[in-house]
Amino acid sequence: MVTDERAIRELVRKVVLRTVGAVDSAPGRVERDTRLVTQQDVESVPPGQELRTGGEAIVTPLARQAALERRVSIVSGDQPATPGPAGDTGRTVALAADHGGFEMKESLAGHLRERGFQVVDCGTHGREAVDYPDYALAAARLVARGRARAAIVVDGAGIGSCMAANKVPGIRAAMCYDEATAVNSREHNDANVLTLGAGLIGGALAKRIVDTWLDTPHAGGRHARRVDKIMDIERRYLRERA
């Protein structure tokens, strides 16, 4: 029975290579253009940088999780880099909404810019009916890829967008409806995506929630241990898929 973690990873790597029909010609190399991108490959890249792969590269779930944790962007060699702000993202906020949250999004965009934040507007850009999961995903993905410090997503109730954003690995989305929940989601849970319900709260309250949420630091300590346990649930499921 194999118990060494490195041996297990190597076994999984060889199984995947055999499954896709690639040849393991040498350590870290695969014949043809097909290549398996592993956790070790990602960890060899400095945090915040890009890892370019071949057009047929296969990225393991553990590699994707490591990329999220190290803010490494995995980019196919035949595709352009992921769009979005580069460099210091400490003042960059992704903003998105469906048709029900469009007007509140527009108001929040101006408010955030007045506060000195760089806003990446992920849409929607009008009142025509759209599907909120598409916009929640667009904003959450920028956070997960290290292109934004945080994201704010607005729909009618804030619930559906929260569910959608939380499907993105590395995301901790929280629906907040007052300043107390905004403080708790940051201080205790280190939330990196905020969702709001335009049909539940007014514009003035939304701005106060956003300000409170952005200005509240994570408390660390026992809360950090619990956040680690939340993220470990995600890592466990990713390992099972590897």
> Cβ–Cβ contacts within 10 Å for residue 84, how many?
17
User: Average pLDDT for residues 148-174, to the nearest whole number?
Assistant: 97
User: Average pLDDT for residues 221-232, to the nearest whole number?
Assistant: 91
> Cβ–Cβ contacts within 10 Å for residue 168, how many?
20
Token code pair at residue 113: 């810019």
Report which of residues 116 and 25 the model is more confident about: 116
Mean pLDDT, the chain, rounded, equals: 82
Residue 97 has pLDDT above 60, yes or no: yes
For domain 92-215, the CATH superfamily is: Sugar-phosphate isomerase, RpiB/LacA/LacB (3.40.1400.10)
Q: Which residues have a catalytic role annotated?
A: 188
Whole-model pTM? 0.66
Token code pair at residue 52: 């370019």
User: Average pLDDT for residues 147-173, to the nearest whole number?
Assistant: 96
What type of residue sits at position 87?
A: G
Residue 55 has pLDDT above 60, yes or no: no
User: Average pLDDT for residues 47-70, to the nearest whole number?
Assistant: 68
Sequence ranges of the chain with CATH classification 3.40.1400.10: 92-215
d(CA 13, CA 38): 8
d(CA 89, CA 66): 19
